[in-house]
Structure 1
């Protein structure tokens, strides 16, 4: 049915005068992505909120907690390539709400789980169904935004993960405190189902949109936006993937640079999404209300970093800096700042610990425009597959970080975790400097 409306949209530039003022529908799309990311990350982080009480109820040691916290990552990483394949073939209007509803249902059922095994299985289901989310985000922003606005758009919707966590994590902790940990999952899952239906009703690709006029579509196209990407017509004509396609996305040094760099960057993120609340409760002896407030401070810092990163990068690009330098400078600077968390080893002051954590997470937010390099480097016909590979390798950290930290720490010493996180961040800097090189689209 969607394809019946495609022709009038494509022919619109021939009907309307080119002097028409361009609409701003792309900003509405960015806001929709923002809200989707808020929900996405609430469903990733809700387990960290409930983890101390779940561990108490089911009698879990730190190694078991690490395994539970990593369960999301096993399927999230494993499904990146199938997810990328789906993103290249199923329009975002349809694929996103399907994924939203399915991972939200799994989240709701986590609130009803009666065993450790059930929690593991359901958490793995959440990971599997969330797998296409960020490749979809990247596809949408590549279609809707010209190159000179893309980093700002990516920074804006990425900020959703930190705004949601900073403002809503205390709400979830309060909800858990007055009711039970079960309601943390029921509440976040219900919101996701509602938003999935709203996305299906309102989202369209640029050439399918009745709200974006010809002037806006032409502005996006002339600026390097792939306005036909993800439309019904182009999706239906997609050829089958071949071994050559996989060889292409796995055989370029500069792509490996962003793959490895993403693993190092997201390791810090997954520390905050998994072990940070437990660290405050069990190693800093804070109560749950204190934890809710103090947890929010690094997330607010990360939010500031994200909002600065996209604007800073696009401003540098507009003022004549090369695409590569304008994208990589915030990323490398952010990774340097994220190494500051090692300072927590050398102080017993809660204020200083939170300061070090806030600087580290600010850096993580500042470096969070890495998807702009996927948009700039990926072969045009393999945006989804490249994004899937990028997210697959990057989010192996969602498996490694919870498990490695769970194995390194003891009941009284969390220091080895901070050493590990610092070494990983340093490796990320080396990857962006030594492997990525000149930023230009890979041909193929």
Structure 2
């Protein structure tokens, strides 16, 4: 049953990446239609993430009173409504408002999809399950990269937003009709048992920081890796294609990595090896003719533990407090994701060299390992008397 539920959630979660990719795919058309520049396009892309910084904790708290299924259906419906609003826009600010509303839906769905998988797979192949779930995001983006550009060219820039909205509505209907919670899930009541312990706070902060720096490094690679290749004479299209190889490969390497950790353990050893691969891949981009190999290494090894890191969030808390804890998790994640791109851009402005931001990415990847070690230390540290009674 749990694998059928995971398949349902994977298919539904594709809609997040599919809707996110709309502005990036039709950015050139929006520049022409509304007289924007690419700073404006970047701002519109970023608006998708903005609500998470402010609403993640309230969204997690509301989970004590509203079912996960209702939360996800609301989130997918908000994604659909936001995309529809953007498609009807006659001015750029209206597109932005649609993106903000879609971003609210993105927050709710991201939080509760993760919680649902943690509830179903706690103690049973959770790293594999999280790896599969996480890969729905690049899968949706890849669908958008292929489909949105064609739809925009054939039917106009509005249609990609509408197509993504229809997908999200179908996904919402599917979750509403077919999702069921596990039968043995404890009720999230109040009182002492509804409050996070000191250990759970430490664990979720470690997991959130690891997930945040890992994704911030990945986004820095996607944003500035192509510029490094362009400095070696690659065209913009060819450079983007080479960098995208890593994202395609990680769809498969991520599931394999999760299976390895579930079967054999050794999460921190896997993290150390994979982060070493990610760090090694970034300088390789600077070597003439090594871009393809660097991207292969990055996707096959460096990005493989995405689900393993996400699984730490599910292992950090009891089911009774998992919704609220996920709110903490995503607040930290959004804060790191908000700060990192401007810092990377400032490094590029200061150095005038596209390799500068990649050094920041290397530092961020390296930080994942000590955070994983800290998570394991807090997980198995002796509990205090207060925590034993909670």
Look up the match of 2:359.
419
Report if aligned partners of 1:280, 1:291 keep a CA contact under 8 Å in 2. yes
- Three-state SS of the structure 2 residue aligned to 1:228 is coil
Q: CA separation in 1, counterparts of 2:324 and 2:53?
A: 13
Does 2:236 correspond to 1:286?
A: yes
TM-score, normalised to structure 2's length? 0.83
Look up the match of 2:164.
188
- Three-state SS of the structure 1 residue aligned to 2:379 is coil
Does 2:241 correspond to 1:301?
A: no
Q: Where do 5+ consecutive residues of structure 2 fail to align? A: none
Report if aligned partners of 2:71, 2:109 keep a CA contact under 8 Å in 1. no
Does 2:388 correspond to 1:439?
A: no
Counting only pairs closer than 5 Å after superposition, residues 97-112 of structure 1 correspond to structure 2 as 97-112=73-88
Q: CA separation in 2, counterparts of 1:54 and 1:189?
A: 18
2:330 alignment partner, one of 391, 397, 403: 391
- Three-state SS of the structure 1 residue aligned to 2:180 is coil
Look up the match of 1:91.
67
Cα 1:169–1:307 shift into 2, 3 Å = same
Q: CA separation in 2, counterparts of 1:294 and 1:177?
A: 23
Deviations 1:309-331 (A, max 9, x none): 210111114xxxxxxxx333333
Report if aligned partners of 2:199, 2:378 keep a CA contact under 8 Å in 1. no
- Three-state SS of the structure 2 residue aligned to 1:371 is helix
Q: CA separation in 2, counterparts of 1:382 and 1:188?
A: 33
Aligned residues: 381
Look up the match of 1:400.
339
Does 2:268 correspond to 1:268?
A: no
TM-score, normalised to structure 1's length? 0.74
- Three-state SS of the structure 2 residue aligned to 1:365 is coil
Q: CA separation in 2, counterparts of 1:407 and 1:119?
A: 27
1:40 alignment partner, one of 3, 9, 16: 16
- Three-state SS of the structure 1 residue aligned to 2:124 is helix
Cα 1:172–1:279 shift into 2, 3 Å = farther
Q: CA separation in 2, counterparts of 1:340 and 1:94?
A: 44
2:306 alignment partner, one of 357, 361, 367: 367
Q: CA separation in 2, counterparts of 1:275 and 1:117?
A: 28
Report if aligned partners of 1:88, 1:383 keep a CA contact under 8 Å in 2. no
2:190 alignment partner, one of 226, 239, 259: 239
Deviation at 1:253, TM superposition (A): 3.5
Look up the match of 2:108.
132
Cα 1:335–1:67 shift into 2, 3 Å = farther
- Three-state SS of the structure 2 residue aligned to 1:148 is coil
Q: CA separation in 1, counterparts of 2:230 and 2:26?
A: 12
Report if aligned partners of 1:151, 1:311 keep a CA contact under 8 Å in 2. yes
Look up the match of 1:174.
150
Q: CA separation in 2, counterparts of 1:158 and 1:340?
A: 23
Q: CA separation in 2, counterparts of 1:151 and 1:268?
A: 21
Report if aligned partners of 1:373, 1:439 keep a CA contact under 8 Å in 2. no
- Three-state SS of the structure 2 residue aligned to 1:356 is helix
Look up the match of 1:257.
206
Largest Rg, 1 or 2: 1
Look up the match of 1:353.
291
Deviations 1:132-172 (A, max 9, x none): 22331233223323513222222222222233334552222
Q: CA separation in 1, counterparts of 2:67 and 2:242?
A: 40
Q: CA separation in 2, counterparts of 1:353 and 1:414?
A: 14
Q: CA separation in 1, counterparts of 2:303 and 2:143?
A: 18
Q: CA separation in 2, counterparts of 1:202 and 1:60?
A: 42
Report if aligned partners of 2:78, 2:104 keep a CA contact under 8 Å in 1. no
Q: CA separation in 2, counterparts of 1:397 and 1:284?
A: 31
2:368 alignment partner, one of 428, 432, 443: 428
Q: Where do 5+ consecutive residues of structure 1 fail to align? A: 1-24, 208-226, 318-325
- Three-state SS of the structure 2 residue aligned to 1:147 is coil
